[in-house]
C-alpha cells in the first residue's frame, strides 16, 4: 500500500467517532493524556498494538517497537473501514476479487514456510498454535482458527507428511467472510503470511528452550 493510500485511510479513520470504532471493531480507545494524543489499542492474535492517531504510527503495546509495514497497514485499514459485519463463514482466497491471481503468492509466502517448518512436526504445530491462542477446530487435518483482529478470523489446516507412504504434507487456509468487506486478496495473503511467521517464531523459541 502506497503512502498516499495510507494517508487516505488515516484521514478516514480520523473522521470516525472513537466510540463507533470501539463498538464495531471491538478495540479500546485511549483518550489524550500526558502529552499523548488519541490512540487505539487493537488485539492482534495473542498480542496488542497501539495506533497513535495523530502520527499514524503503530507500535507493539509491550515492546513499543513498530511491526512490519504490512501489519501496520492492515491494522489501520481495519480501524478505518470495518463496519461491523459478523465474522461469518470460512471462504478461500479464490472467493476474493482477483483471488486466483494470488494463489502463487499464498503458496510462496504462507503454505511453503508452514510446510517447511511444521510438515513433519504435528506436535510442534499443535503447541505453536495453542501458544498464540489458536482454537482447535473439528475440521480436516490439524485445524486451528485464530483472531487476527477481533472481528477477522483465519482458519489454518495442516495435514502432516508420512514418510512410510510417501505422503507429502499439505496445508490450507481460509478467511472469515468479514474479510471480504474490507480486505483485498493481496491483504488476505499478507495476513496469512503474518500468522505463519508468528507460528514459526514460537516454534524457534521453543526449540531454543529445549
The pLDDT, as a whole number, for residue 165 is 58
- Say yes or no: 100 and 187 in one domain: yes
For residues 157 and 73, membership in a common domain is answered with no
Q: 142-149 and 152-159 as β-strands: parallel, antiparallel, unpaired?
A: antiparallel
Residue 162 has pLDDT above 90, yes or no: no
* 70 and 94, same domain (yes or no): no
Over 50: is that where the pLDDT of 143 sits? yes
- The verdict on 66 and 97 lying in the same domain is no
pLDDT over 50 (residue 33): yes
Give the separation between CA 132 and CA 135, rounded to whole angstroms: 9
169-204 pLDDT, tens digit each? 999 999 999 999 999 999 999 999 999 999 999 988
Buried b (16+ CB within 10 A) or exposed e, 140-170: ebbbbbbbbbbbbbbbbbbbbbeeeeeeebe
Q: Which cell is 3 given? A: 503512502
Do 191 and 102 belong to one domain? yes
Report whether 91 contacts 179 (CB < 8 A).
Answer: yes
What is the band of 205 on the pLDDT scale with cuts at 50, 70, 90?
Answer: confident
> Is the pLDDT reported for residue 2 higher than 80?
no
Give the domain-ending residue among 81, 108, 127. Answer: 81
Q: Are residues 97 and 72 in the same domain?
A: no
Give the count of domains, the chain. 2
Q: What is the pTM of this model?
A: 0.91
Q: Tell me what pLDDT residue 190 has.
A: 97
Residue 207's pLDDT is 59
Please provide the average confidence, as pLDDT, over all residues in the chain: 92
Q: Distance (Å, rounded) from C-alpha 99 to C-alpha 175?
A: 12
* Residue 116 belongs to domain with CATH number: 3.30.310
Q: Does the structure show a pLDDT above 60 at 210?
A: no
Whether residues 199 and 124 share a domain: the answer is yes
Q: Domain limits at 155?
A: 90-209
Helix (H, G, I), strand (E, B) or coil at 110: helix
Residues 6+ apart with CB under 8 A from 82: 24, 25, 151, 152, 178, 181, 182
115 lies in the same domain as 192: yes
Q: How would residue 140 be classed by pLDDT, with cut points 50, 70 and 90?
A: confident
**How much is the average pLDDT of 84-102?**
95
Over residues 95-134, the pLDDT tens digits come to 999 999 999 999 999 999 999 999 889 999 999 999 999 9
pLDDT at 39: 95
Which of 59, 81, 103 is at the close of a domain? Answer: 81
Same domain, 95 and 173: yes
Are 11 and 49 found together in one domain?
yes
On whether the CB atoms of residues 106 and 173 are closer than 8 A, the answer is: yes
Name the pLDDT band for 209 (thresholds 50, 70, 90).
very low
Q: Are residues 132 and 195 in the same domain?
A: yes
List beta partners, residue 154.
Answer: 146, 175
Amino acid at each position: 500500500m502506497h503512502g498516499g493510500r495510507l494517508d487516505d485511510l488515516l484521514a478516514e479513520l480520523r473522521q470516525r467517532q472513537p466510540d463507533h470504532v470501539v463498538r464495531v471493531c471491538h478495540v479500546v480507545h485511549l483518550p489524550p493524556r500526558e502529552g499523548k494524543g488519541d490512540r487505539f489499542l487493537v488485539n492482534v492474535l495473542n498480542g496488542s498494538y497501539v495506533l497513535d492517531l495523530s502520527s499514524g504510527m503503530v507500535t507493539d503495546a509491550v515492546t513499543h517497537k513498530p511491526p512490519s509495514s504490512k501489519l501496520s497497514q492492515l491494522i489501520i485499514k481495519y480501524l478505518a473501514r470495518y463496519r461491523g459485519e459478523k465474522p461469518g463463514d470460512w471462504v478461500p482466497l479464490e472467493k476474493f476479487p482477483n483471488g486466483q491471481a494470488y494463489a502463487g503468492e499464498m503458496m510462496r509466502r504462507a503454505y511453503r514456510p508452514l510446510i517447511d517448518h511444521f510438515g513433519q512436526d504435528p506436535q510442534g504445530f499443535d503447541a505453536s498454535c495453542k501458544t498464540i491462542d489458536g482454537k482447535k477446530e473439528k475440521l480436516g487435518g490439524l485445524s486451528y482458527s485464530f483472531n487476527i483482529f477481533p472481528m477477522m478470523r483465519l482458519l489454518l489446516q495442516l495435514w502432516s507428511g508420512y514418510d512410510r507412504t510417501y505422503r507429502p504434507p499439505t496445508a490450507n487456509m481460509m478467511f472469515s467472510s468479514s474479510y471480504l468487506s474490507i480486505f483485498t486478496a493481496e491483504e488476505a495473503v499478507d495476513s496469512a503470511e503474518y500468522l505463519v511467521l508468528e507460528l514459526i517464531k514460537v516454534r524457534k523459541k521453543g526449540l531454543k528452550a529445549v
